[in-house]
A and B are shown apart, each in its own frame.
Chain A
Amino acid sequence: SQQGEEDPQALSIQEGENATMNCSYKTSINNLQWYRQNSGRGLVHLILIRSNEREKHSGRLRVTLDTSKKSSSLLITASRAADTASYFCATDGYGGSQGNLIFGKGTKLSVKP
């Protein structure tokens, strides 16, 4: 079963705008990761945030994590048409897990030129 939900399910913006995607999860975690998936392709790792971190930046990406609310957000600033893809958050179980990632259902982002 899926760990949680991304919100929104779909997002359409103009190039240059910022895109914010949210993710909620259910269980305690060691870390949370965000992946991107272009249509018909595999997943590409974007960023990992540990459970003891609250915010992390990588280029145009900013990730926040609120473990008290079991939620995370991914912000893509100054979006580009090439950012069009599906974005998934993934968590790994805390204790007892063999390390498999548990994915949400994803947000489909469309950036219009």
Chain B
Amino acid sequence: GAGVSQSPRYKVAKRGQDVALRCDPISGHVSLFWYQQALGQGPEFLTYFQNEAQLDKSGLPSDRFFAERPEGSVSTLKIQRTQQEDSAVYLCASSLVPPGLAGINEQFFGPGTRLTVL
């Protein structure tokens, strides 16, 4: 089927607004990851879900960032009271099996949501 999809592709927010970014992983993929990619940099890990459980949120930069995956498929990354430093591309990735299983960790990435905070 289709790959990982993300919406919206582009989002412009005024400073202080809340935003919600959506990720539809590949059907049946157990693991879901969110990454933040600043301009000219590599992606940096934000948070990880295994099914509906958020097992690692150590990369979330502040308590303004919140992610959920209530039914173990679609995930939403919410940023409250956006700041200019939140401007980045937010990438979602999914993988079929939990990390570490069989030593494989190939992740399939969506196109990203480019967030610009004015």
**Range for the number of chain B residues in contact with chain A:** 20 to 34
Q: Mark B73-113, 1 if CB is under 8 A from A, else 0.
A: 00000000000000000010101001110011111111110
Distance to closest chain B CB from A60 (angstroms):
20
A101 to B43 Cα, complex, angstroms: 9
Determine whether A41 belongs to the interface, using a CB cutoff of 8 Å to chain B.
yes
Contact assessment for A48 and B104 in the assembled complex, using a CB-CB cutoff below 8 Å: yes
Name the B residues within 8 Å of A30 (CB-CB): 100, 103, 105
A70-94 with Cβ < 8 A to chain B: 88, 90, 92
Instruction: Tell me what chain A mostly uses at the interface: helix, strand, loop, or mixed.
Output: strand
The residue among A31, A33, A42, A103 with the most chain B CB atoms within 10 A of its own CB is: A42
Name the A residues within 8 Å of B104 (CB-CB): 31, 48
A33 to B100 Cα, complex, angstroms: 14
Contact assessment for A43 and B109 in the assembled complex, using a CB-CB cutoff below 8 Å: yes
B42 interface neighbour in A42, A92, A104, Cβ under 8 Å? A104
Distance to closest chain B CB from A37 (angstroms):
9
Contact A31-B105, Cβ < 8 Å, known A97-B99, A104-B42: yes
A103 interface neighbour in B40, B44, B99, B108, Cβ under 8 Å? B44
A76 to B25 Cα, complex, angstroms: 30
B107 interface neighbour in A1, A97, A101, A105, Cβ under 8 Å? A101
Given contacts A42-B110, A99-B48, 4 further A-B contacts (CB under 8 A): A31-B105, A42-B91, A42-B112, A101-B43
By a beta-carbon cutoff of 8 Å, the part of chain B in contact with chain A is 4, 31, 33, 35, 40-45, 48, 55-56, 59, 91, 93, 95, 98-100, 103-112, 114
23 pairs from A and B in contact (CB 8 Å cutoff): A2-B41, A30-B103, A30-B105, A31-B105, A42-B91, A42-B109, A42-B110, A43-B109, A45-B108, A45-B109, A48-B104, A90-B42, A92-B105, A98-B48, A99-B48, A99-B100, A100-B99, A101-B43, A101-B105, A101-B107, A103-B42, A103-B44, A105-B41
